Amino acid sequence: MPDSKAAAPGFANPQKPWRHLFLSLGGIIAAASAVVSAVVIAAVSAVVIPVLIANNQALAAPHSDIERPYQNRNLVMTDLVLKDEKRGKELEIKVVAPSVASNEKLPVITFSHGVRGSAENYAPLTDYFARHGYICIKPTHQDSFKLMRDSVRNEVGPAKIAKLKELLAETRSGMNVPMGEGAFRDWASRPQDISFIIDKLSYIESCIPILKGRLDAGRVGIAGHSFGAHTAQVTAGMTIGGNRQWQDPRPLAFLCISPQGTDLNGADQVKVEKSAWQNIERPLMVITGTADSGRNGQPYTWRTEPYTLSKPPHKYLLVFQDAGHNMGGISGNSIVMTNKANGAESALVERVARAACAFFDLYLKGKATALTEMEAAEKKLSPSSYFYSK
């Protein structure tokens, strides 16, 4: 057995955690894909485009405030379109909730997708949260490929194929740019989407019969993956470009999966200094993996900076050995992430979900033993991950 006090490879913890756990993935996790690859784009062009054209429903966007809910494994899922008069936009969301009616008040987790993703993604995580007593709300942000795809739903034949190929090329080229450009140019609209959803919680509750009287707007958590983790950090109060204007004081806790660290390469208004996290006083958990490198080749330790450069208390870091950017497939079906489905990666997805749920159980449900129980369960497995708290 390795020394349980060993640090994650290449990671130097600047503060001694009051708890540190060397966890496990059983030594069988294959690193997930980190960023969009040419292979994925080519495959989408060759296979997805004909399917989209053959199936107009795949291109259809919601046309009313509420779509018919459907059930899946004890869950109710409802698609809504929220009208933001102030910003002059419509925001598509998917609400995932337990299907069992009760008088219990349920806390809310709003989940922000990665770049080019949509509310259709991340079911492996949000379904898990909902089955454990949360109402999950997933917006489709402005950078979504789904919205780009929907913009050509009225096109037909070769013109549609050509336009979709053009959009896919834009998707690929827009990734390799600094924050604030290309696919990342609408970064500031994302935290505004999150705040708008919180504003509209009462309306969302009124649209879904099984939720009436059950949505607890006073217990809200924010989660996000990749670009969505950037959204969560900004909402939590991370300073970006010397500004914290997008901070929302209402959420109680923030989960950042594969977040970004310091960034001094972009324009002044998007720069993230080492002091960026000093003003985040609410609970924050970071999850990453040792194969989770940054878009510009940064080591995975770059993604730990929201933890290492923030102040205690209530800060957490979980590092999975050999795990890549998609953490075994947390994004589910995604046009910008590969998603292998072997047993090892499915186990990793569940472990990510379990750890995240334990974090929210502590801060949204007041379950004081949630993280301790998560640690105890992981100790029974062979070691291959690391947990820090401060």
Q: Choose the weakest-confidence range: 202-211, 276-285, 329-338.
A: 329-338
Amino acid identity, position 153: R
Average pLDDT in the 2-10 region? 61
CA dihedral 255, 261, 264, 270 (to 10 degrees): -10
Mean pLDDT (the chain) is: 80
Q: Is 180 helix (H, G, I), strand (E, B) or coil?
A: coil
Please check whether residue 175 is in contact with residue 36, taking contact to mean a CB–CB distance below 8 angstroms.
yes
Q: Which two tokens stand for residue 44?
A: 């989408």
CA distance 317 to 283: 11
CA distance 95 to 118: 13
Predicted confidence at residue 381, as pLDDT, reads 62
Write down how long the chain is.
390
334 compared with 304, residue with greater pLDDT:
304
Please check whether residue 185 is in contact with residue 72, taking contact to mean a CB–CB distance below 8 angstroms.
no
Predicted confidence at residue 149, as pLDDT, reads 75
pLDDT in tens, 240-296: 999 999 999 999 999 999 999 999 877 788 899 999 999 999 999 999 999 999 988
3-state helix, strand, coil in the chain (%, to 5): 35, 20, 45
Share of the chain above pLDDT 70, in %: 75
CA distance 317 to 287: 6
pLDDT in tens, 353-379: 999 999 999 999 999 999 999 888 777
Q: Is the Cα dihedral 217, 95, 35, 13 positive or negative?
A: positive
Q: Choose the weakest-confidence range: 55-59, 174-178, 203-207, 370-374.
A: 55-59
Share of the chain above pLDDT 90, in %: 56
- Radius of gyration, alpha carbons of the chain: 20
Predicted confidence at residue 176, as pLDDT, reads 65
Please check whether residue 93 is in contact with residue 119, taking contact to mean a CB–CB distance below 8 angstroms.
yes
CA-to-CA separations, 343 to 25, 125, 328, 329, in angstroms, rounded: 11, 16, 10, 11
Most confident range (mean pLDDT) of 176-185, 287-296, 300-309 is: 300-309
How does strand 19-23 pair with strand 135-139? Answer: unpaired
Predicted confidence at residue 180, as pLDDT, reads 63
Q: Residue 174 — very low, low, confident or very high, per pLDDT cuts 50/70/90?
A: low
Strand order through the sheet with 75-84: 19-23, 385-389, 315-320, 284-289, 253-257, 215-225, 106-112, 135-139, 89-98, 75-84, 70-71
Predicted confidence at residue 160, as pLDDT, reads 78
Predicted confidence at residue 34, as pLDDT, reads 36
341-351 residues labelled b (16+ CB within 10 A) or e (exposed): eeeebebbbeb
Predicted confidence at residue 171, as pLDDT, reads 63
* DSSP per-residue letters across 301-366: GGGGHHHHTSPSSSEEEEEETT--TTTTTTT-S-SSS-----HHHHHHHHHHHHHHHHHHHHHHS-
201 compared with 343, residue with greater pLDDT:
201
For the chain, which residues make up each domain, given as ranges?
Answer: 19-389
pLDDT in tens, 29-59: 333 333 333 333 333 333 332 222 222 222 2
CA distance 21 to 6: 9
Asked whether residue 86 carries a pLDDT value surpassing 50, the answer given is: yes
Asked whether residue 139 carries a pLDDT value surpassing 80, the answer given is: yes
CA-to-CA separations, 285 to 22, 194, 211, 354, 371, in angstroms, rounded: 17, 18, 28, 13, 11
CA distance 1 to 331: 33
From 237, 302, 112, 261, select the one nearest 179 (Cα to Cα). 261
pTM of the model: 0.80
Asked whether residue 311 carries a pLDDT value surpassing 70, the answer given is: yes
Is the CATH number 3.10.20.880 carried by domain 19-389? no
From 93, 39, 41, 128, select the one nearest 327 (Cα to Cα). 128
CA distance 123 to 136: 10
Asked whether residue 131 carries a pLDDT value surpassing 80, the answer given is: yes
From 261, 264, 344, 280, select the one nearest 29 (Cα to Cα). 344
Termini Cα distance of the chain: 25
376 Cβ partners below 8 Å, 6+ apart? none
88 compared with 45, residue with greater pLDDT:
88
Predicted confidence at residue 175, as pLDDT, reads 61
CA distance 173 to 162: 17
* DSSP per-residue letters across 25-92: -TT-PPPPP-S--HHHHHHIIIIIHHHHHH-GGGGPPP-SSBPPPEE-SSEEEEEEEEEETTTTEEEE
Predicted confidence at residue 159, as pLDDT, reads 79
Average pLDDT in the 156-170 region? 76
